[in-house]
Amino acid sequence: MLAKDAQKLNALRAIKSAILLLKTDKGGGDITPEMEIALLQKLIKQRKEAADIYKSQNRADLCDEELSQATVIEAFLPEQVSEDEVRSVVARIIAETNSSSVKDMGKVIGLASKELAGKADNKLIANVVKEVLSK
């Protein structure tokens, strides 16, 4: 507030609001770190989808605002792993489960998503699994 950074303030308010809503939805119980990470990822996804919509409607001002809020929210997530690291984890899981075809994709994505929770985007995981299993 003191810095008069409206976009950062709006992003922080959105995080606080979402956490408070999550607490009330769960009956006032404690929120686990995994729930917080999932919530932050959801907020980032919402911001990026809104930015895409604004971009398609030629509203660059609103698009930039959404993207800057997404950047602020990303700062609260654990450090994201690279695509190469995702590939190595997926390759290891495929070897452990003896998966060989696209039919095993759901099982591999589930295990990889669980292991990389909060560290990688599920869309990236799904794309890597699909690419590796379709070879």
| pLDDT of residue 65 exceeding 70 | yes
Q: Are residues 32 and 64 in the same domain?
A: yes
Q: Are residues 88 and 57 in the same domain?
A: no
Report which residue type is found at 96: E
Long-range contacts of the stretch 95-101 (C-beta < 8 A, 24+) = 99/133, 100/133, 101/133
Token digits of residue 119 = 């560290």
| pLDDT of residue 66 exceeding 90 | yes
Tell whether the torsion through CA atoms of 41, 42, 45 and 50 is positive or negative: negative
Q: What share of the chain is helix, strand, coil (3-state, %, to 5)?
A: 75, 0, 25
Q: What is the pLDDT of residues 92-116, one digit of tens each?
A: 998 898 888 888 888 888 899 888 8
Confidence of residue 26 (pLDDT cuts 50, 70, 90): low
Q: What is the pLDDT of residues 14-25, one digit of tens each?
A: 999 999 888 888
CB atoms closer than 10 angstroms to residue 93: 21
Report the CATH number that the domain containing residue 116 is assigned in CATH.
1.10.10.410
Q: Which residue has the tokens 């999550």?
A: 22
The DSSP call for residue 102 is G
Q: Which of 24, 50, 74 is the last residue of a domain?
A: 74
Q: Which residue, 23, 64, 70, is CA-closest to 42?
A: 70
| pLDDT of residue 1 exceeding 80 | no
Domain enclosing residue 45, as ranges? 6-74
Mean pLDDT (the chain, rounded):
87
Q: Are residues 105 and 68 in the same domain?
A: no
